[in-house]
Amino acid sequence: MTLPNPDPDLYIAAQIVSSEQKASISLLQRRLRVTYKIASEIMQQLQEIGIIEKSDETYKILVNEDDLFLYFSNLEEKYNIKIPVAGRIFEV
């Protein structure tokens, strides 16, 4: 797995899709107030790290909200990467 430059809002995006139990580029655009391109890149990163999985036209959420912090901690340790846990102050 390669995730050389995780987006600063990756953890927050994971919280959003886990709490909403749905994932879409437009959802991340609205909630994070970012461009389509950035939201699209975050969705790709969420897929790469196994938070979401594309199935047909929708995305399946693979990690529940309660397990996110531990999941991200394990990713950092296993792949020797640093994922910002708090990009911006954001209310989910």
Q: What is the pLDDT of residue 88?
A: 39
Q: Is residue 86 part of a domain?
A: no
Q: Is residue 3 part of a domain?
A: no
Tell me: pLDDT of 5 over 80.
no
Tell me: pLDDT of 19 over 80.
yes
**pLDDT category, 90, cuts 50, 70, 90?**
very low
Tell me: pLDDT of 47 over 90.
yes
Q: State the residue for tokens 């970012």.
A: 34
CA 42/CA 33 separation, integer angstroms: 13
Closest CA to 72 of 60, 58, 54, 86: 86
Q: Is residue 19 part of a domain?
A: yes
Residue 58 belongs to what domain range? 10-79
Report the domain count for the chain: 1
The CATH number covering residue 35 comes to 1.10.10.10
- The separation between the first and the last C-alpha atoms of the chain, rounded to the nearest angstrom, is 28
Q: Is residue 41 part of a domain?
A: yes
Q: Is residue 75 part of a domain?
A: yes
